Structure 1
């Protein structure tokens, strides 16, 4: 997934889930890691980071 797609997905996830979006992305990353899906986990970690970046330094 390209960086622009990650940021677009992160924005849509945040719009749908609000403050819970970063935690949801982190949970999906952990689930992928536990399942051995390292590339999917890496993508979810990028989504999580993009959401936290949108929230700013004092949130998320």
Structure 2
């Protein structure tokens, strides 16, 4: 789990708010390719990025 959190942090630092979109796209690509294990990792990265961003402001 720490590797996922570290990867999420680096991705967020490099891509800002677009990092969550990128992680979602990667998860979808792996799921469509039949690699559900890798897709699940990317969903975990997306969740970690979302948690880093905190609550959305309205």
How far does the alpha carbon of each residue in 1:7-37 deviate from its partner, in whole angstroms, 9 at most, with x for none? 0000000011111000000000000000000
Q: Which residue of 2 aligns with 1:58?
A: 56
**TM-score of the pair, normalised by structure 1:** 0.91
Unmatched 5+ stretches in structure 1: none
Query: Which ranges of 4 or more aligned residues in structure 1 deviate by more than 2 Å?
Result: none
1:41 to 23, 39, 42: 39
TM-score normalised per structure 2: 0.94
Aligned length: 57
Give unpaired runs (5+ residues) of structure 2.
Answer: none
CA RMSD of aligned residues (A): 0.9
